[in-house]
């Protein structure tokens, strides 16, 4: 019983961290998932799991960002510091769209 309790105490903080991790995969010239809801201040980590470069940007309103190009296998993390609904796009592949709802 003590062993089980010790394991639970070690794993509990890791489980809480996993809930805060928001991973967006860039694959097949698409964002996966294509829509996500997060809390203000949360960050999204974009993982380029494609065979070509990608980039991310949000434009319009008072919240903007524009990343450098990322090669296959690279990641970028972006925090969302304002509430609202935002469209994340890729300059290289303009049909790529991710809708981010920040509450």
pLDDT at 54: 95
pLDDT at 14: 41
Can you give the pTM of this predicted structure?
A: 0.77
Domains of the chain, first to last: 21-102 (2.60.40.420)
pLDDT at 13: 44
Q: How many CB atoms lie within 10 A of CB 43?
A: 13
Q: Could you identify the residue written with the tokens 């970028």?
A: 76
C-alpha 85/C-alpha 78 separation (Å) is: 15
Answer whether the bond into residue 33 is a cis peptide, omega within 30°: yes
- Three-state DSSP class for 79? strand
Going residue by residue through the chain (103 aa), what tens digit of pLDDT does each one get?
A: 554 434 334 444 444 444 457 999 999 999 999 999 999 999 999 999 999 999 999 987 778 899 999 999 999 999 999 999 999 999 999 999 999 999 9
pLDDT at 60: 72
CA nearest neighbour of 77 among 36, 46, 33: 46
Residue pair 46/77 in contact by the 8 Å Cβ criterion: yes
Q: Which two tokens stand for residue 39?
A: 């809390």
């Amino acid at each position: 019983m003590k062993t089980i309790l010790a394991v639970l105490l070690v794993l509990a903080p890791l489980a809480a961290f996993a809930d805060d991790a928001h991973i967006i995969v860039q694959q097949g010239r698409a964002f996966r998932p294509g829509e996500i809801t997060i809390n203000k201040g949360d960050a999204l980590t974009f993982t380029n799991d494609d065979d070509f470069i990608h980039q991310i940007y949000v434009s319009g309103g008072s919240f903007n960002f524009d990343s450098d190009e990322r090669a296959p296998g690279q990641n970028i993390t972006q925090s969302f510091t304002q509430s609202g609904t935002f469209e994340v796009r890729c300059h290289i592949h303009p049909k790529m769209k991710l809708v981010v709802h920040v509450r």
